[in-house]
Amino acid sequence: MDLALSPEEEAFRAEVREWVGGNLPDGWGTPAYKEPRSFEERVVFSKQWEKKLSEAGYAGLHWPKEYGGRGATYMQQIIFHEEMARARAPQLFINFVGMNLAGPTIMAHGSEEQKKRYLPPILSMDEIWCQGFSEPNAGSDLANCQTRADLDGDHFVVNGQKIWTSFAHVADWCLLLCRTDQSVPKHKGLSYLLVDMKLPGIDPRPLKQVTGDAEFNEVFFTDVIVPRSQLLGEMNMGWTYANTTLSHERGPAFLGHQIRFRNALADMFAHANRTIRDGVPVSEHPAFRGRLAAAYAELEIMRYIGLRNITSILRNGRPGTEGSVAKLYWSHMVRRMQELALAVGGPAAALDGPDADDRGQWQRGYLMSFAQTIAAGSSEIQKNIISERVLGMPRGEVWAPKEKR
């Protein structure tokens, strides 16, 4: 596949580069700049940054023009994410669900009224969304969702519990997957509601993560009255709509990752050059040289997996199963890389706080790296997808030698 850029794409790259160069927060990336660390600080910061992107026309890049987006090609989206990563610009954070999940799902299945009501405030960053899918007994097996929405005249009565709902405590709206028919097989009785998080009976309780922050929540719904007009599409078609949402969970933002990881690798090499062990920089230490070289090689592999992904998307118009190979690979690569960065720091690397190496980025990155192998489909689920859909292995069978079957 020829991935050379057209003159228009080169012009777009120059435009983005110039804008990012002139619009990063003052002092961003300099040693004196105090980056937001706590969840609360990051929410305030990210609302300002994402609003700025929106005002400059870089929000909803992938949204069609009729809905206020830019109608950018896939290649332009890749370029945008590459340039943001190259400039080490802040990543999309607080409006991720709205922009990437809620917007595309409402565009695909919402009524004209719903599109008019919900899409503009997502683009302008005036309303934040969360994704209420997972439950204590419905994560990988999402169709087992038990939160019920009982239709009673012109409204639903919602009761149940969601969990791991990122941003629920700061969100205005929720994409809620719930059961509206108990009598049919589990995939068939689900519906999809757009729920106002300020309604009485909704109780988000933040869950503290290993980093000390509370980004996600358990959310309790007790007799919540949701108007019938908040139903997305048709009753009992929620599973189809949920799959639309999930198919957007790993969009082209992922393609900027390998540049962000390249930046992280460069930081780690600098960290290894600065850190002295047994009288020599760690980067010259025989025990580390091989591991550092392997980290470099792994990143190259990730780049090629990314290029295969892009080729498949440009050929077929949508991501293929290569997406699972990429997710499985990079999420574990990140864990290895973060582990190595801590090993470079030695015993002191376990210490976090203002005096930590590189302002605690390695400690925090290490702790967060565990989430990557769970969120957006755990590693085991990715392996199931690869074995069944890429390698054509039989579904749901536990392998055993023939004589033992």
Site residues (vs ligand FAD, CB under 6 A): 130-131, 133-134, 139-140, 164-166, 216, 371, 374-375, 378, 380-381, 384
Annotated active-site residue 249? The verdict is yes
Sign of the four-CA dihedral 114, 120, 123, 124: negative
In the complex, the smallest distance separating the C-beta of residue 146 from ligand FAD, rounded to whole angstroms, is: 13
Counting Cα atoms < 13 Å in the Cβ hemisphere of 4 gives 3
Assign 225 to helix, strand or coil.
strand
Question: What's the closest the beta carbon of residue 74 comes to ligand FAD, in angstroms?
Answer: 25
DSSP structure string for 105-155: HHHHH--HHHHHHHHHHHHTT-S-EEEE--BTTBSSSGGG---EEEEETTE
- Closest of 164, 168, 214, 234 to residue 195, by C-alpha: 168
Packing angle between helix 361-372 and helix 253-274, nearest 10 degrees? 140
Looking at the Cβ atoms of 189 and 204, the one nearer to ligand FAD is 204
One-letter amino acid of 247: S
Looking at the Cβ atoms of 108 and 381, the one nearer to ligand FAD is 381
How near is the Cβ of 396 to ligand FAD at its closest, in Å? 8
**Which residues does residue 155 pair with via DSSP β-bridges, in sequence order?**
152, 227
Q: Which is nearer to ligand FAD, 123 or 130 (CB)?
A: 130
Q: How far is CA 360 from CA 121, 338, 365, 366, in A?
A: 35, 12, 8, 10
The span from the CA of 47 to the CA of 52, in Å, is 9
Positive or negative, the CA dihedral 69, 253, 251, 35 is negative
Give CA–CA dist 379/39, Å, rounded: 26
Question: Residue 152, CB half-sphere, CA atoms under 13 Å: how many?
Answer: 10
The C-alpha atoms of residue 81 and residue 62 are separated, in whole angstroms, by: 12
Catalytic residue among 9, 249, 339, 388: 249
Give min distance, CB of 387 to ligand FAD, in A.
10
- Closest by CA to 330, choosing from 352, 289, 296, 302, is 302
> Can you tell me whether residue 382 is helix, strand or coil?
helix
Closest approach of Cβ 314 to ligand FAD, in Å? Answer: 28
Nearer to ligand FAD, 215 or 298 (CB): 215
3-state helix, strand, coil in the chain (%, to 5): 55, 15, 30
Tell me the residue number closest to ligand FAD, measured at CB.
139
**Does residue 178 sit in helix, strand or coil?**
strand
Distance CA 292, CA 350 (A): 20
CA distance 308 to 299: 14
C-beta of 74 vs 329, nearer to ligand FAD: 329
Least distance in angstroms from the C-beta of 217 to ligand FAD: 9
Closest distance between ligand FAD and the C-beta of residue 32, in Å?
31
Count of CB atoms within 10 A of residue 201's CB? 14
Nearer to ligand FAD, 8 or 380 (CB): 380
CB of 343 to ligand FAD, least distance (A): 24
Cite the active site residues.
249
